[in-house]
Structure 1
Amino acid sequence: MTTTDHPPAFEPTGSIELQSVADSKIIGVSLYSSRAEITRLYKFSVKTGQNQVNISGLPNVLEAESLRVEGRGAATIHDVTVSTAKGEHVPTSSPELAALLSRKEKMSSALARCQKSIASLEQYLASLTVQHLDVSKLESVMEAYDSTGEKLDAKQCELTEQLRLIDADIVLERARIAVPHENDELRVKAAIGVFAEAEGDVEIALIYAVPRATWTAFYDIRVDMNAKEDPITLIYKAAITQNTGESWDDVPLTLETSTPTFGLGVPQLPAWNLDIERYFGGKKSKSAFGGRGSEMMWSRQIDREMSRSAEFDEMPSGGYRAEDQPMEFRGASVTSKGNFSATFRVPGLVSIPSDGEAHNFTIVQLTLKAEMSWVSVPKVDTKAHINARITNASDYTLLSGTASVYVDGSFISRSDVPAVSPKESFDCPLGVDPSIRITYHPVIKKLSQSGFYNKSANYVFSQRITVFNTKSITVDRLKITDQIPTSQNSQIEVKLVNPALTLPSDEPGKGSSSLNLKGTSKSAPTPQVINVARGVVAQWDGADEPTDCAVEALGLDRKLNWVCSVGAQAKINLSLEWEVTVSPASVKVVGL
């Protein structure tokens, strides 16, 4: 007699019903500027053979194409299907509600009879007269009236209270039999086919993207004007809002500075043709890029997120080991997260309800270096404005956002922080410094004429500016900006006398260039700088920012500035002098 080996018999397909909120834990939230990626972990037991895992209560806004499944255990994932549960029928009645309505009707009838009896008693007493009632019987009649009326009043009060209680029960019952509001936004279902070689416990992580979740950056910038080094303290904060339908309770939160893009390709330039009196219209062709992967594994991201969730660290293993092989994955859709420029992990675990309200968290507090400077345009306004050139020496990418600026503990202003990469610098205005007092004296004008036959009019203008530093410390990098007029006519010549900066040519073809026609680079010109006094230099406006303006173009707008260092309790005087020659003298000059 021979024996034949037979493969083990698998049990018929089993169905496992899971409710997402009750039977899982969010072990990771990656929040982008316009969406969030949620990682939910489910633990359950499977039987030998095919198991159908039905997960209900996922958010309605879940993006089905982004859903991917990762698992661990001696099992294989065959397929994943996402669907939306149809709206349930809203019951209008129930046995309990019918009984309550019946009781209410009986109580209402009893109350009506009681009120009618009280009215009849009052009517009977009012109808008694001397002819109908002997005086000797009046006392007994009144006693009977009081006794009967007291009973009727007590019964009326009791019936009224019972009716109130019945009405409250009716309201509760009608709310109970209606579709629960908390399920209205959690009606997406996921069906996952899991084939297990042996009975045991497995883990499955659902990773999906949801919109209606966002975060924005905002800042507190605190400035210590007396600090020699690192005067800026920048507190990086995040305002987080989510209305996805599911609450994030005690979750590890990661903030991403990048924005995922889908179906975005490199733009193409269309053909640019010229023709005569004819028009050719056409439609632009659009190209879409996309793709789906079929690979499935238990990623390192899941391991990191699980290690951050203390609740799951102490859960019993239930027959599986951490080193069990990852599940194979067949036929499931996988969407990549894409690249990101920076990732912030909010310390600890946070809870953010699905209420659409902003919840604020501090990301990090940074101590940064900054160069303080003062700028004034006294011809327009004699106030000195403080500016900080802050260098982001941290590893954090700063997103654009608003900042509340505090100088020496006092709130000064609100400012805007641009997008700043690590090691990049940005300007932050800090308001007005009243301790820098600037006087813009009236201009002195002198007129003379020259020439015998063709007389010319010569105008000499002198402008004096006084700067008084009332601080107890020296103020460096104080920039005072002014201007001289620009001639728009060949009969008018403008010459700068003091400071002796060379006027550039504003006529086409007369300017120099650092690149000749053959493309050979000449030596790069340097901005003109003149020392007019100790600690004071004069230059054309923009000379201290040569990267933003070509050196050859400096002074074309006839704006110049002084960069000053003013000692404590010290004054300096700045002088601007220019000459305007008009030929012939009879010409009337506009704007002089």
Structure 2
Amino acid sequence: MTTTSDHPPAFEPVGSIELRSLVDSKIIGVSLYSNRAEITRVYKFAVKTGQNQVNISGLPNILEAESLRVEGRGAATIHDVTVSTAKGEHVPTSSPALAALLGKREKTVNALARCHKSIASLEHYLSSLTVEHLDVSKLESVMEQYDSSGDRLDAKKSELTEELRIIDLDITAERTRIAVPHENDKLRVKAAIGVFAQAAGDVEIALIYAVPRATWTAFYDIRVDMSTKEDPITLIYKAGITQNTGESWDDVPLTLETSTPTFGLGIPELSPWNLDVQRFAELKKSKGSRRGFPNSGDLLPAGLMSSSRDRDRSSRRMELEEMSMPDGVLDEPMGFGGASVTSKGNFSATFRVPGMVSIPTDGEAHNFTIVQLNLKADMSWVCVPKVDTKAHITARITNASEYTLLAGTASVYVDGSFISRSDIPSVSPKESFDCPLGVDPSIRITYHPVIKNLSQSGFYTKSANYVFSQRITVFNTKGSAIERLKIIDQIPTSQNSQIEVKLVSPALTVPTKDTTGMSSINLKAAGPKATPQIVTVARGVVAQWDGVDEPDYAVEALGLDRKLNWVCSVGAQAKINLTLDWEVSVSPASVRIQGL
């Protein structure tokens, strides 16, 4: 026998809850990637005991339906979620205001026509009067009535003309207003959510969804103080944010993500690559095709696409719980801390923009400062006077902060003056990078004309010997010394056994290839990374093969291109002279040298 206790408790009929996204919710978080944004919206509403159908309208048209997920808090369970798109609202071609204006205009046009007709009739009446019909004694009275009636009609004509002008302006404005599509045309996506409540009360649900047409890029201001050696670089890290998603982000916490989401990207596979003997018949048949080599159509795809999304960002998740709570009381929503940055090296970093921000859906760039950093830098000057006598400033900057620097453009200011624009590479914390800072006009370099002497030697077979001398003058007009100025130059390279090139000064050993293919400047006992010769030319000046101070240089390649440089320390208001001497020998002397 069935007792009443065996029956489930009676619930109220299914309750329908209508929510408009812009009015009945608030964005509590935006995570912005390079090409998309993830939005978290929170809705708070009352439910009845039993099944409730929550209909949310006004979501962006470009919402990625497969990214939508729903999480909530309260004594309820989420059963199902469906997403659909409402039909576009009809854009009216008329309105009550426009109809009223058109009616008013018609009345004003008619009144103005009557006024014109009255004035014409008055004129016609006056012109029709003759001596036979009008006594002279009454002429003055008729003229006074004509003037009075004419003034009244002229005033009415002016009034109606101005009124008609204003009505036409109002009609144009109203037609313009109703011709603009409603804002809701970009917010026509609807979500239907089934919520089963244990008891009546308030609940919260969060909709988390991704939208394209939102992006951010990094850019910088780099300010250089040449008068200080302690942290001379001030780097201002900025973000340019653009969004045209259809919904404005008003007073929201914003997180900038440096990673780019990928969807099921797999490791590429290699196709078999087989070799076989090419037969003449097959060669003729294939018309020259190479058998055995994989064609582009035979390659396996680089990766497999998947519709699944990465949904494990615990820092933004709201735990869905079924709990008993006092009526009208909810758990505190997930809070957000102050301005902070979580840096994870060059692979990924997460930035929290300080405070709350508002970004309209206008497609325009909105700039925000992430952080200002004072960084250490080693300043150097580089000049290639054979090509250009200008001295270029370069800073070797060390990112001593916890912030990952993304690739972007930088505006460079030296001592308060804008110098140039530069490109910043991706830089991890503790990593160093080179930043060009423009041209320094206070370093004056003179590349003097080369001095050339010719002599001949030999009895039977004459040899021609050319001796060249190149002088370079450096003048530091600054009031302070510069510690590192690099002057780069070169001597020619012989491409023929009849021509021999010898570096005389500075006395660096010109590398040559021996039978083992190794450079002669390699000391076998010291291994392949032996330190090459560096010559001290004068106090504060050393000469070396170009590239020796680069990281991971190849010793066997140094000097093969015959490029060398001087590294100089130049005092304030001081001059130094550098000399490059070399010889070119050719045998027989009758051989003409090309390129000399």
Into which bin does the TM-score normalised by the smaller protein fall? 0.7 to 0.9
What CA distance in whole angstroms lies between the structure 2 residues aligned with 1:44 and 1:348?
28
Residue number among 368, 377, 397 corresponding to 2:375 in the alignment = 368
Residue number among 384, 395, 409 corresponding to 1:388 in the alignment = 395
Give 1:564 deviation, angstroms.
1.3
What CA distance in whole angstroms lies between the structure 1 residues aligned with 2:175 and 2:198?
48
Does residue 4 (structure 1) correspond to residue 9 (structure 2)? The answer is no
Q: What residue in structure 1 maps to residue 470 of structure 2?
A: 463
Q: How many residues matched?
A: 560
What code does the residue aligned with 1:301 have? R
Does residue 13 (structure 1) correspond to residue 14 (structure 2)? The answer is yes
Give 1:146 deviation, angstroms.
3.0
Contact 1:74/1:324 (CA < 8 Å) preserved in 2? Answer: no
Contact 1:73/1:320 (CA < 8 Å) preserved in 2? Answer: no
What code does the residue aligned with 1:364 have? V
Percentage of identical aligned residues: 78
Residue number among 311, 316, 326 corresponding to 1:301 in the alignment = 316
Change (3 A) 1:167 1:51: farther
What CA distance in whole angstroms lies between the structure 1 residues aligned with 2:520 and 2:457?
37
Contact 1:257/1:397 (CA < 8 Å) preserved in 2? Answer: no
What CA distance in whole angstroms lies between the structure 2 residues aligned with 1:102 and 1:140?
40
Give 1:510 deviation, angstroms.
2.7
Tell which deviates more after alignment, 17-26 or 134-143.
Answer: 134-143
Q: What residue in structure 1 maps to residue 566 of structure 2?
A: 562
Contact 1:514/1:522 (CA < 8 Å) preserved in 2? Answer: no
Give 1:436 deviation, angstroms.
1.9
Tell which deviates more after alignment, 88-97 or 442-451.
Answer: 88-97
Change (3 A) 1:229 1:298: closer
What CA distance in whole angstroms lies between the structure 1 residues aligned with 2:314 and 2:474?
65
Helix, strand or coil for the counterpart of 2:594? Answer: coil
CA displacement, residues 275-295 of structure 1 (integer Å, 9 cap, x when unaligned):
533446544443524254899
What CA distance in whole angstroms lies between the structure 2 residues aligned with 1:96 and 1:575?
88
Contact 2:240/2:365 (CA < 8 Å) preserved in 1? Answer: yes
Q: What residue in structure 2 maps to residue 331 of structure 1?
A: none
What CA distance in whole angstroms lies between the structure 2 residues aligned with 1:540 and 1:294?
52
What code does the residue aligned with 1:266 have? I
Give 1:179 deviation, angstroms.
7.8
Q: What residue in structure 1 maps to residue 322 of structure 2?
A: none
Q: What residue in structure 2 maps to residue 573 of structure 1?
A: 577
Does residue 540 (structure 1) correspond to residue 545 (structure 2)? The answer is yes
Give 1:534 deviation, angstroms.
1.9
Give 1:365 deviation, angstroms.
0.3
What code does the residue aligned with 2:306 have? G
Does residue 226 (structure 1) correspond to residue 231 (structure 2)? The answer is no
Q: What residue in structure 2 maps to residue 192 of structure 1?
A: 193
Q: 1:148-187 residue pairs with structure 2 within 5 A?
A: 148-157=149-158, 159-160=160-161, 163=164, 181-187=182-188
Q: What residue in structure 1 maps to residue 121 of structure 2?
A: 120
What CA distance in whole angstroms lies between the structure 2 residues aligned with 1:219 and 1:453?
69
Helix, strand or coil for the counterpart of 2:141? Answer: helix
Q: What residue in structure 1 maps to residue 342 of structure 2?
A: none
Give 1:412 deviation, angstroms.
1.2
Give 1:180 deviation, angstroms.
5.2
What CA distance in whole angstroms lies between the structure 2 residues aligned with 1:299 and 1:531?
60
What CA distance in whole angstroms lies between the structure 2 residues aligned with 1:263 and 1:574?
60
What CA distance in whole angstroms lies between the structure 2 residues aligned with 1:408 and 1:294?
47
Give 1:396 deviation, angstroms.
1.1
In structure 2, stretches of 5+ residues that fail to align are 320-325, 335-345
Give 1:272 deviation, angstroms.
3.3
What code does the residue aligned with 2:585 have? T
Does residue 322 (structure 1) correspond to residue 340 (structure 2)? The answer is no
Helix, strand or coil for the counterpart of 2:23? Answer: coil
CA displacement, residues 361-414 of structure 1 (integer Å, 9 cap, x when unaligned):
111000001110111111222221111011111111111211111111111111
Helix, strand or coil for the counterpart of 2:147? Answer: helix
Change (3 A) 1:37 1:136: same
Does residue 445 (structure 1) correspond to residue 452 (structure 2)? The answer is yes
Q: 1:162-561 residue pairs with structure 2 within 5 A?
A: 163=164, 181-274=182-275, 276=278, 277=283, 278=286, 279=289, 281=295, 282-286=297-301, 287-290=303-306, 292=308, 300-302=315-317, 319-322=328-331, 341-505=348-512, 509-512=516-519, 522=527, 524-547=529-552, 549-561=553-565
What CA distance in whole angstroms lies between the structure 2 residues aligned with 1:257 and 1:14?
43
Helix, strand or coil for the counterpart of 2:4? Answer: coil
Change (3 A) 1:303 1:514: farther
Give 1:163 deviation, angstroms.
4.8
What code does the residue aligned with 2:193 have? I
Helix, strand or coil for the counterpart of 1:108? Answer: helix
What CA distance in whole angstroms lies between the structure 1 residues aligned with 2:364 and 2:98?
37
What CA distance in whole angstroms lies between the structure 1 residues aligned with 2:131 and 2:401?
105
Give 1:218 deviation, angstroms.
1.2
TM-score by length of 1: 0.87
Does residue 141 (structure 1) correspond to residue 142 (structure 2)? The answer is yes
TM-score by length of 2: 0.86
Give 1:504 deviation, angstroms.
1.3
Give 1:544 deviation, angstroms.
0.4
What code does the residue aligned with 1:453 have? Y
What code does the residue aligned with 2:374 have? T
In structure 1, stretches of 5+ residues that fail to align are 305-316, 326-338, 516-520
Contact 1:70/1:298 (CA < 8 Å) preserved in 2? Answer: no
What code does the residue aligned with 1:51 have? N
Q: What residue in structure 1 maps to residue 341 of structure 2?
A: none
Change (3 A) 1:579 1:173: closer
Helix, strand or coil for the counterpart of 2:186? Answer: coil
What CA distance in whole angstroms lies between the structure 2 residues aligned with 1:59 and 1:514?
68
Contact 1:514/1:523 (CA < 8 Å) preserved in 2? Answer: no
RMSD over aligned Cα atoms = 3.0
What code does the residue aligned with 1:360 have? N
Change (3 A) 1:438 1:417: same
What CA distance in whole angstroms lies between the structure 2 residues aligned with 1:523 and 1:98?
91
Give 1:171 deviation, angstroms.
5.8
CA displacement, residues 493-547 of structure 1 (integer Å, 9 cap, x when unaligned):
11111112111125785325999xxxxx945322331222222111110000042
Contact 1:386/1:432 (CA < 8 Å) preserved in 2? Answer: yes
Change (3 A) 1:250 1:454: same
What code does the residue aligned with 2:427 have? V
What code does the residue aligned with 1:531 have? T
Does residue 582 (structure 1) correspond to residue 591 (structure 2)? The answer is no
Give 1:8 deviation, angstroms.
1.7
Give 1:571 deviation, angstroms.
2.3
Give 1:274 deviation, angstroms.
4.4
What code does the residue aligned with 2:546 have? D
Change (3 A) 1:466 1:119: same
What code does the residue aligned with 1:584 have? P
What code does the residue aligned with 2:579 have? S
Helix, strand or coil for the counterpart of 2:273? Answer: coil
Give 1:469 deviation, angstroms.
2.1
Give 1:478 deviation, angstroms.
1.0
Tell which deviates more after alignment, 123-132 or 205-214.
Answer: 123-132
Give 1:444 deviation, angstroms.
1.9
What CA distance in whole angstroms lies between the structure 1 residues aligned with 2:453 and 2:588?
17
Give 1:480 deviation, angstroms.
0.8
Give 1:18 deviation, angstroms.
0.8
What code does the residue aligned with 2:391 have? A
What CA distance in whole angstroms lies between the structure 2 residues aligned with 1:342 and 1:98?
58
Contact 1:536/1:563 (CA < 8 Å) preserved in 2? Answer: yes
Q: 1:75-94 residue pairs with structure 2 within 5 A?
A: 75-92=76-93
Give 1:151 deviation, angstroms.
4.1
Give 1:124 deviation, angstroms.
1.3
Contact 1:257/1:341 (CA < 8 Å) preserved in 2? Answer: yes
What code does the residue aligned with 2:569 have? S
What CA distance in whole angstroms lies between the structure 1 residues aligned with 2:327 and 2:4?
35
What code does the residue aligned with 1:288 have? L
Change (3 A) 1:178 1:532: closer
